[in-house]
Structure 1
Amino acid sequence: ILSNIEMIDPTQLDPALLKKINRITIASKTISNLYDDLTYLILSHRLSSHDETVDLKLLLEERLEYFSLLCESKKIRVGTCLEANVVMSIDRKKITKLLDNILSNAVKYNHIGGTIDVELHDKLIRISDSGRGMDASKTKHAFDRYVRFDRSVGGFGIGLSIVAAIAKEYGLNVDIESKRNEGTKVSISW
């Protein structure tokens, strides 16, 4: 679906049709991410890692572009402070999955007109949002598989458990700070 949509020239569409195409794109990306997450959970014990040196600034810029349509649909402003020359030796697919799950939550649980700030410093990635946030009692269970605190938002509660598994495999520290109705900050350090 996505490859067919990407072949369409948006400059040739009227605004109403473009809006429909954008909705299809968002739905397709959502389904694709869910499929990837479920596949990862099922096959993670059989997947071998292919570590390489990953430029995290370039990867974050790529992932933010991937989520840009979702952000635009919710009128979310994205701010960045990305240092250059920050690299990590890691499997590209796994670090992408880790970042995608955190960014997906930052969009999914954010308010219309909210903000997402992405920072990259030496040995630190921080993704903050102005969304719904969580109480402290819920934050400590955020990485538990199948835990969902808001049933009004789609998903199966597996994203952060995947984040935790990848972080554990690579010795990354993942810290969540969250306040109800103020937002969530996820920090990844190494």
Structure 2
Amino acid sequence: MCSKARSTPQRLVRILQMTHLPILTHCSSQMSTPKSVNGLPAEVLGLVFLEFLEEEVDQEWRRQHPGRLICVCRLWKELVEGNSELWSRIDVTLGNIDIPMEAQPIRNKIRKAKRSPLALYIHCRDWVFSASAAVTRDVLTLYGLIKDHRWRTLSILNLIYLESFEAIFRHMVDQPQMCRFPYFRIHESIYMFDSVMTW
């Protein structure tokens, strides 16, 4: 078992204790016997869901989607659909030469994110070395979708097509609609997180 898997429960408990101690105290006094997780208050379940969808890039990023939670039961579907923060992470793969990026799924997530600032993760097809034109095409489409929304972060997971992104996104830092843009991260691959560039 990896260290992250071992540390996540303790980390979640600390988060819950710091932010929802009164609720947890009430739950403890009311729950003398084990109950279903659905017996937890909606606020606590929401924190659990956010932990599941935490902002971390790894090889399993496609699994970190609210749609997986919606499929569990009707209660979870209602909670997830009503929590805009759960939809604020936007994962996009760019650079398919033959198939342009689909805009509608991104529109749907932005609509569900409502006013929650977005965290954008861009995955480039760095094994397609002739796809620079396709990447530029997709970046322009993506820019049109997200330019009017508030952001938290923008992370690019490959360096090969960096020039395609810099020219289009650099000026967004000074846009008034952005609540904050503390850093711009560039990862050499999904497995490396130590290459950081600040604007």
Greater RCO, CA 8 A, separation 6+: 1
Tell me the TM-score normalised to structure 2 length. 0.28
Q: Which has the larger radius of gyration?
A: 2
